[in-house]
Amino acid sequence: MKTYNQVLDQIKTIAENHEQINFYGEGDLWEIATSGTINYPVFWAQTITSELENGQIGYGFTFLCMDIVQTGEGNESDVLSDTLQVLTDVISNLKWGNIDEIDIDDVVFSPTPFTDRFTDQVSGWSIDVMIRTPFKWNKCEIPTIT
């Protein structure tokens, strides 16, 4: 089983190794604005849910990938194209990157575009994903005080 922190570390590693991502962050969306100097493009992971089912634990995230849009929005379609590609790269790496004990639900993904968001006037995409890892319902593995 991968812990929540191990899953976050794996997402971070993938994002930081992607040549088009200049900043990785995680947490609530309002924390983007408090993250200090941000070098775009940004990949952000926000935890939204968790579930235990059929010997697996699922960690639900909203992933956002965004970049600065120039005044006049002359590069907005380029930003949307590039950030969607980066988003799919990260998801593909999680799904097919031969990472032990990590899988992503086989569902139809529905990325949602956004424009003129946050104080930096960025555009990009968000997508909800469920990352699953095996979970043992094993009483012997529970740390207890006797």
**DSSP structure class, residue 107:** S
The CATH number of residue 61's host domain is 3.30.2000.30
Full-model pTM: 0.87
Please report the pLDDT score of residue 108 as a whole number.
64
Assess if residue 17 is contained within a domain.
yes
Residue 38's CB: how many other CB atoms inside 10 A?
18
Confidence grade of residue 48 (pLDDT, cut at 50, 70, 90)? very high
Residue 64's CB: how many other CB atoms inside 10 A?
25
Assess if residue 110 is contained within a domain.
yes
Assess if residue 146 is contained within a domain.
no
Range of the domain at 101: 4-141
Interatomic CA distance for residues 87 and 21, integer angstroms: 10
What type of residue is 3? T
What value does the mean pLDDT take over residues 102-109? 72
Assess if residue 136 is contained within a domain.
yes
Rounded to whole angstroms, what are the CA distances from 93 to 13, 14, 54, 141? Answer: 11, 7, 24, 30
Please report the pLDDT score of residue 136 as a whole number.
74
What value does the mean pLDDT take over residues 123-141? 83
Rounded to whole angstroms, what are the CA distances from 11 to 15, 41, 128? Answer: 6, 16, 14
Number of domains in the chain: 1
How many angstroms separate the first and last alpha carbons of the chain? 25
Nearest to 22 by CA among 2, 42, 1: 42
Please report the pLDDT score of residue 142 as a whole number.
64
134 cis-preceded (ω within 30 degrees of 0):
no
